[in-house]
Amino acid sequence: MTTQQLTQQIQKKKSFLCIGLDVDLNKIPQHLLQEEDPIFAFNKAIIDATHHLCVAYKPNTAFYEAYGLKGWKALEKTINYINKNHPEIFTIADAKRGDIGNTSSMYAKAFFEDLAFDSVTVAPYMGKDSVEPFLAFENKHTILLALTSNQGAFDFQTKMIDEKEVYKHVLETSKTWQNSENLMYVVGATKAEFLADIRQIIPNSFLLVPGVGAQGGNLQDVCKYGMNDHVGLLINSSRGIIYASNQDDFAQAAAKKAEALQQEMKVILK
Amino acid sequence: MTTQQLTQQIQKKKSFLCIGLDVDLNKIPQHLLQEEDPIFAFNKAIIDATHHLCVAYKPNTAFYEAYGLKGWKALEKTINYINKNHPEIFTIADAKRGDIGNTSSMYAKAFFEDLAFDSVTVAPYMGKDSVEPFLAFENKHTILLALTSNQGAFDFQTKMIDEKEVYKHVLETSKTWQNSENLMYVVGATKAEFLADIRQIIPNSFLLVPGVGAQGGNLQDVCKYGMNDHVGLLINSSRGIIYASNQDDFAQAAAKKAEALQQEMKVILK
């Protein structure tokens, strides 16, 4: 998918919401555990109830890997279900991968080819040759960790190199990499005040913004400082939406939470 | 496994060799492709031929994920085979994971519980709360990326924060984390000259050292600067060993390459 198509979808749906599909079997309605594939059953119900309200789905691979083969199978079924039934929706493998060149190529193959995601999140620590193999895929997007939503972001990301924070070096350096037009960036909603500075460096890139909801980030602040001419934001909410209820009505409850965010976004987009 | 047990094994086998099981179906002997599970068939033959020469096996998860469900199944069979037949061998999931707390917990569960690896490699970019969930597992080890073997290591890892390189901040900061005694570190063999400095900061920790062989690192230099009283090194070779031949004799050829390294190590250990 191109970023133009993503922007068109945002305008059409009046939404820049991304829903995180982080399925924890301890948190889903317990009647689903009787299903043959409880993880996929949960995701399918959430997708059926929310696809008109969001422009992206983001399964976090950790939650699937934790269930081994069963989990990986559920991930495969989930991405296939989205791609088949809602091909207009942008898909993000939240995998935070990154390794030496030949290994990153294998990860890129795994997520872009085998699982056919539109994008994957990647950690920058290993530098240029660990990220460029992902960037080589046409119409696929590499979402680089810049400033994350957690407290640990202050351990290294905000430390100063030559009077400039590490995450700004990541942003600036990444712009020089081959096929850098395929980059997007993770910036946590809990760090909204940093977004104005970030937009100075990468005015046009899409930002994936986690941390609204359970982690305490604020949608209005993120938009105030982070939105650009073509919106340029994907606001993720995971737990705040998908675990709105653990009863029979879980999918409807999730849709209500998603709609509340979408309605806020609709007003902002005016 | 405890680090004491690992050291005992090193002394017993006169080896601190780790073999990287990075299986690429394009590189393995083509007759194996007729097997029901070519990846596992390859690994099993390599393990059978080399287990007495090494103290650790390190499958890189990228190479398994690239083959989807089939690949994940082969990874599961491989770790189960090692744990069942060679429980004395230290196992490393080279996964380079790292995410916010609740997500890192899921990754830790995936690799330490579901797959029963002894250790997993983790990226430091997201800081303390992304790593501590891994450290919470008793007798399991978290191998933190410090200074990697690739060229991209110079993009961020060696940049200076307050007159000290980023990777040194990673080493020093990580020592303050809860259960930091469960940390080991990745230091690339291609950066052997940095090891003396690194040993000033972490004199007692085990180092996983990739980059000997295909990437050009030198065993003698690594030992000169990086070895401590209880050895404290795991030297990894992947492609240099497992792809020594792509003919019927591939396992024997791999064993020869492994033995050549083990013999060098035996001399060094004297």
Closest CB from A60, A125, A160 relative to B125: A125
The fraction of chain B above a pLDDT of 90, given in percent, is 95
Residue A96 a catalytic site member:
yes
Cα A155 to Cα A165, B55, B86: the distances in Å are: 11, 34, 39
pLDDT tens, B231-256? 999 999 999 999 999 999 999 999 99
pLDDT at residue B182, as a whole number:
98
Which tokens sit at B128? 């303390």
How close A143 comes to chain B (CA, Å)?
Answer: 14
Q: Domain of B145: which CATH number?
A: 3.20.20.70
Residue B135 in this model has a pLDDT that exceeds 90: yes
pLDDT at A192: 85
User: What pLDDT is recorded for position A81?
Assistant: 98
- Model confidence at A200, pLDDT cuts 50, 70, 90, reads very high
What pLDDT, in 10s, does the model give residues A226-237? 999 999 999 999
Q: Determine contact: A101 vs chain B, CB below 8 A.
A: yes
Q: Which helix (H) or strand (E) holds B130?
A: helix B128-135
Beta carbons of A96 and B60 less than 8 Å apart:
no
Six token digits for residue A157: 């990301």
Q: What is the pLDDT of residue B192?
A: 85
CB contact under 8 A, B126 and A150: yes
In Å, what is the CA distance from B196 to each residue of A75, B145, B160, B187? 44, 17, 18, 12
Mutation pick from A77, A156, A159, A163 vs chain B, by most beta carbons of B within 10 Å, is A156
The yes-or-no verdict on residue B213 having pLDDT over 80 is no
Question: Are residues A152 and B131, on separate chains, in Cβ contact within 8 Å?
Answer: yes
Mean pLDDT of chain A: 96
Tell me what the mean pLDDT of segment B108-126 comes to.
97
**Residue B193 pLDDT level (bands cut at 50, 70, 90):** confident
CB < 8 Å from B in window 130-159 of A: 130-131, 145, 148-157, 159
CB of B156 closer than 8 Å to CB of B168: no
- The residue written with tokens 């995450």 in the block is A167
pLDDT band at residue B211 under the 50/70/90 scheme: confident
A 223-252 residues inside an 8 A Cβ radius of B:
none
Q: What is the pLDDT of residue B112?
A: 98
Which range marks the domain in which residue A57 is found? 3-269
Q: What is the pLDDT of residue B226?
A: 96
Taking the Cβ of residue B110 and every Cβ of chain A, the question of whether any pair is shorter than 8 Å is answered with: yes
Rounded CA-CA distance B176/B144 in Å is: 14
Encoding tokens for residue B163? 């007159």
Q: What is the pLDDT of residue A190?
A: 87
Structural domains in chain A (count): 1
Q: Tally the C-alpha atoms within 13 A of residue A162's C-alpha that lie toward its C-beta.
A: 5
Please name the amino acid found at residue A30.
Q
What is the mean pLDDT of the segment spanning A11-23? Answer: 98
